[in-house]
Amino acid sequence: MNKTWILSDQNPEAESVLLSGGIPPIAAKVLAARGIDSISEAKDFLNTDISIIEDPNRLPDIDAACSRIRKALDNGERIAVFGDYDVDGLTAVCLVVKWLRKKEADCIYYIPNRVEEGYGLNVDALEQLAQKGVSLVITVDLGITAIEEALWAKQNGLDLIITDHHKCRDDLPEACAVVNPRRADSEYSFKYLSGVGVAFMLVLAYEGFENIEPMMTEYSDLVALGTVSDMMPMIKTNRALVHRGIQEINRGNRVGLKALVRESASENAEVNTGIIGFSIAPRLNAAGRMGYANDELELLLTDDPQAAQRLTEKVCELNRERQKTENDTYHEVVEYYEENIRNTDKDEGPILICNDTWHPGVIGIIASRLSERYARPAFLISLKDGVGRGSVRSFYGVNILTIMQKVSHLFETWGGHEYAAGFTIPEENIPALSELLKNVSCELETPHINIDTVLDGDMLTENTISDINTLEPFGPHNAMPAFLIRNMEIKDIIPLGWGNSLRLKVAIEGKDYPAFYFGGHRDRPDMCCGDIVDAVCKLEGDRSRGESFLRIVLLDIRLEKEANKKLRIELELFNRLKTGKDITRKEAVSLMPKKSEFVALLRHIHRNSDSSGSVRAMIGSMLRTVSREENIELSYARFLVCFEALAEKNRLTYSLENDQIEVKLLEGCPTNLNTSKILMRLRELSEN
């Protein structure tokens, strides 16, 4: 899919101000493009010192929470920590349980089963806890909307301390304490703490803010994991928490986390926000998705290296299982959609698909892959016992909450963000939902990529990575920078064994670099060896083979401008010829293929066809490959005339759609191509 590239306004003046203040060159370029134009502003933004962490005593109800916990500890009460099954929830449960056990509290935890119970507090679970002798429940990362559950707890003598970071509704649940920085009456100015961030603030307030240094040593690794995984804005207090937390993760003091890091990333890899987001969080999330969050929690809790190893293996195995379920389900969903819905569906509305065999733990990921594939929002529902659990993912520019609002009377529960949301729906309401969604049309934005700045080859040095790393930790509000690098030569393309990804060798100003292109269409990359491209990319350091080197992660590529223009012009010329429009004599002469071009093309197709005689490729890269292999002068339009003549004479069939060509060879005797209509017409036009 073609994405518009949006380059931020560059600010060379601010850049030189920042440079003169000691900010490294690439970081200065990026910060200037992000609107920072003074040294003091830059230093404020980059500050990761723990002194910027806001005092937890400003949080609402924090005193009430601490005194209720103190009472429970004094009286030897049994305390339960109740948390969510995602990484933010799990790290928060782990943090509070570890801390309570250190205080020798009688403490258990409860994580609802995603598959059986779904999200949030529920009365059945509270009842179980009460039966186990629990008299105080501390929630982490959830509970802010649990009005009824809180009422039940109150009536049944179970005390509740709710800690959460989700958006508050007008009514708060009745509890001993409701600690949430986003409460309307909150004096805590930083609203972007994660669930584990709030949990940390609770124990920090209990221990005293002056003890922040040792508390950070002990718990900031968990805070970093949850904050990064939950995609919290990476500014101010969060920068300080995550910066220190990543240092602690790299120190490796938490046995289970250390084992998981070793298993998820390469041996000597230094953990950063990217490794947490792409390698560690998905593994920790996987078991929760499949309904076994307790294994993950035990992994985070354990002090025993052997148990850590065993649990890591189990968690990684569950992750592989999750990936397989996800892939299988994705293919099933696509097949089902193509066969049953696609043709009767309007093109611009949201997709709705419903089924009772899909695992509810993967439908969110699949909805997001579907929306990417079909460039529209996607609603996916997994049905069980008359209730559907749904996931919605948006596509560029569409606020799905507005769509959901219009149909919300059909939902039992719903909530989320403008780009990702969830709901539950009674089975009998699904046909009505489907009808209503048919009348929703979405105003899609053109897909785009934001680019911070342009890098020339000579800016890439051995300091590049440490330069970029001065901007870490990355996350929302401080994204890892995206660069535009022009005139990059593609030297080698190796499809990877999994997914849609490519490993490449590229050259920038004569120097070779390894590169990755995730989602780069394994089977038909829109590029071939020898191409000169403009690329949007991120830059990463890799230390996996003993030495550290720079790796380029491609996000999008585009054939260098001139070559791309040539392709567009020639495709247009060919289409004019094919649809019988006017062609000048000169154009007709240039369109007449040479015999060597027929030969070269057929040889390429024979060599690259699969067992059924088919080849699929991007038209541009196929033709450039042919002309480079055979060392003939490239004309896209002439090659297409060859295809057309061969098709007319039943030597092959081909289809060309969105620059993708699919060719299938046919069995048949060689015939005289000169009698094909297209060549006859060309001859006629060139002679006039």
Q: Which residues of the shown chain bind Mn ion in the complex (CB under 5 A)? A: 88, 141, 195, 230
Integer angstrom CA distances of residue 645 from 471, 498, 502, 576, 598:
57, 37, 34, 16, 10
Nearest to 98 by CA among 109, 87, 111: 109
Query: What whole-number distance in Å separates Cα of residue 389 and Cα of residue 381?
Result: 5
Counting beta carbons within 10 angstroms of the beta carbon of residue 421, is it exposed (0 to 12), middle (13 to 18) or buried (19 or more)?
Answer: buried
| Residue with smaller CB distance to Mn ion, 193 or 640 | 193
Q: How far is the CB of 228 from Mn ion (least distance, A)?
A: 12
| Residue with smaller CB distance to Mn ion, 281 or 460 | 281
| Residue with smaller CB distance to Mn ion, 230 or 534 | 230
Q: How far is the CB of 120 from Mn ion (least distance, A)?
A: 12
| Residue with smaller CB distance to Mn ion, 230 or 298 | 230
| Residue with smaller CB distance to Mn ion, 120 or 390 | 120
Query: What whole-number distance in Å separates Cα of residue 47 and Cα of residue 235?
Result: 9
Q: How far is the CB of 639 from Mn ion (least distance, A)?
A: 54
Could you tell me the two tokens for 209? 């803010």
Query: What whole-number distance in Å separates Cα of residue 672 and Cα of residue 144?
Result: 77
DSSP state of 481: P
Residue nearest Mn ion, Cβ-based? 88
H-helix or E-strand spanning residue 366: helix 363-374
| Residue with smaller CB distance to Mn ion, 241 or 682 | 241
Query: What whole-number distance in Å separates Cα of residue 659 and Cα of residue 640?
Result: 12
| Residue with smaller CB distance to Mn ion, 182 or 314 | 182
Helix count (H) and strand count (E) of the chain?
Answer: 25, 21
Q: How far is the CB of 95 from Mn ion (least distance, A)?
A: 13
| Residue with smaller CB distance to Mn ion, 225 or 366 | 225
| Residue with smaller CB distance to Mn ion, 161 or 550 | 161
| Residue with smaller CB distance to Mn ion, 228 or 554 | 228
Q: Residue 443 in contact with residue 398, Cβ under 8 Å?
A: yes
Q: Residue 327 in contact with residue 500, Cβ under 8 Å?
A: no
Phi, then psi, of 412 in degrees rounded to 5: -85, -50
- Residue 266: other Cβ atoms inside 10 A: 12
SS3 305: helix
Alpha helices for 158-275 (secondary structure H): 195-207, 212-229, 236-251, 255-264, 273-275
| Residue with smaller CB distance to Mn ion, 112 or 195 | 195
Could you tell me the two tokens for 383? 């049905």
Q: How far is the CB of 446 from Mn ion (least distance, A)?
A: 32
Written as one letter, the residue type at 182 is: R
Q: How far is the CB of 336 from Mn ion (least distance, A)?
A: 32
Could you tell me the two tokens for 421? 């949301």
Q: How far is the CB of 196 from Mn ion (least distance, A)?
A: 8
Q: How far is the CB of 418 from Mn ion (least distance, A)?
A: 17
Q: How many CA atoms lie within 13 A of 612 on its CB side?
A: 7
For the packed helices 305-336 and 363-374, what is the interaxial angle rounded to 10 degrees?
40
Q: How far is the CB of 88 from Mn ion (least distance, A)?
A: 3
Q: How far is the CB of 616 from Mn ion (least distance, A)?
A: 42
Q: How far is the CB of 137 from Mn ion (least distance, A)?
A: 18
| Residue with smaller CB distance to Mn ion, 21 or 476 | 476
Q: Residue 638 in contact with residue 592, Cβ under 8 Å?
A: yes
Q: How far is the CB of 191 from Mn ion (least distance, A)?
A: 13
Query: What whole-number distance in Å separates Cα of residue 306 and Cα of residue 409?
Result: 51
Integer angstrom CA distances of residue 387 from 124, 125, 179, 360, 459:
18, 20, 32, 12, 57
Q: How far is the CB of 84 from Mn ion (least distance, A)?
A: 6
Phi, then psi, of 652 in degrees rounded to 5: -160, 170
SS3 498: coil
Q: How far is the CB of 193 from Mn ion (least distance, A)?
A: 10
| Residue with smaller CB distance to Mn ion, 113 or 653 | 113
Could you tell me the two tokens for 81? 């920590």
Q: How far is the CB of 230 from Mn ion (least distance, A)?
A: 4
Q: Which residues lie below 8 Å from residue 92, measured CB to CB, with a gap of 6+? A: 83, 84, 140, 141, 163, 194, 195, 196, 198, 199, 222, 226
| Residue with smaller CB distance to Mn ion, 88 or 472 | 88
| Residue with smaller CB distance to Mn ion, 137 or 255 | 137
Long-range contacts of 145-152 (CB under 8 A, 24+ apart): 145/120, 145/169, 145/173, 146/120, 146/121, 146/173, 147/171, 147/172, 147/173, 147/174, 148/123, 149/120, 149/121, 149/122, 149/123, 149/173, 150/121, 150/174, 150/175, 152/123, 152/126
DSSP state of 339: I
Nearest to 625 by CA among 493, 483, 474, 477: 493
| Residue with smaller CB distance to Mn ion, 88 or 221 | 88
Q: How far is the CB of 194 from Mn ion (least distance, A)?
A: 6
| Residue with smaller CB distance to Mn ion, 85 or 411 | 85
Q: How far is the CB of 229 from Mn ion (least distance, A)?
A: 8
